[in-house]
Structure 1
Amino acid sequence: MTNDPELFWFGVVLTLVTICFTLSLVGAGTKTLATPPTATSDVNSIANAEIVALQQQCQRLRAELQHQKTQLNVDFQDNTFAQLQPLLTHYPSARKMAESKPDLPARNFNALFTPLENLLQTWHVESIGSAWEQVSFNPQLHQPDVEDMTTGEPVYVRFVGYTQGDRILSPAKVSRTLPGGAERKV
Structure 2
Amino acid sequence: MQLLGISSYKALSRQAGVSERQVKRLRLGQVSQMRVETLIKLSQALKVSVSELLTAFGDRKPPALGEQINREPELASLQQEYQRLRSLLEQQRETLMQEFQMSSLQVLESFLLYWPTAAARALENPQMEAVKLLPLVRPVQQMLSQWGVEAIASVGAELPYDPQFHQLIKGTAQPGEIVKVSNLGYRQGEKLLHRVKVSAISKA
* TM-score range normalised by the length of the shorter chain: 0.7 to 0.9
Displacement after TM superposition at 1:156 (Å)? 1.4
The reply to whether residue 9 of structure 1 matches residue 49 of structure 2 is: yes
Sort the Cα spacing of 1:11 and 1:147 in 2 relative to 1 into closer, same or farther, 3 A. farther
CA RMSD of aligned residues (A): 2.3
**2:135 counterpart (111, 119, 123):** 111
The whole-number CA distance in structure 2 between the counterparts of 1:134 and 1:128 is: 12
Unaligned runs of 5+ in 2: 1-42
The whole-number CA distance in structure 2 between the counterparts of 1:53 and 1:73 is: 30
**2:110 counterpart (86, 89, 106):** 86
* Residue number in structure 2 paired with 1:125: 149
List, as ranges, runs of 4+ consecutive aligned residues in structure 1 with deviation greater than 3 Å: 14-17
The whole-number CA distance in structure 2 between the counterparts of 1:16 and 1:55 is: 14
The reply to whether residue 70 of structure 1 matches residue 94 of structure 2 is: yes
Larger Rg: 1
Percent identical residues: 29
Aligned counterparts, 1:95-174, within 5 A: 95-146=119-170, 148-174=172-198
Unaligned runs of 5+ in 1: 27-39, 179-186
Say which SS state the counterpart of residue 170 (structure 2) adopts: coil
Q: Which moved more, 1:7-16 or 1:110-119?
A: 7-16
Q: Which has the higher contact order (CA 8 A, sep 6+)?
A: 1
Displacement after TM superposition at 1:51 (Å)? 1.9
**1:50 counterpart (74, 85, 88):** 74
**Contact 1:133/1:157 (<8 A) preserved:** yes
TM-score by length of 1: 0.74
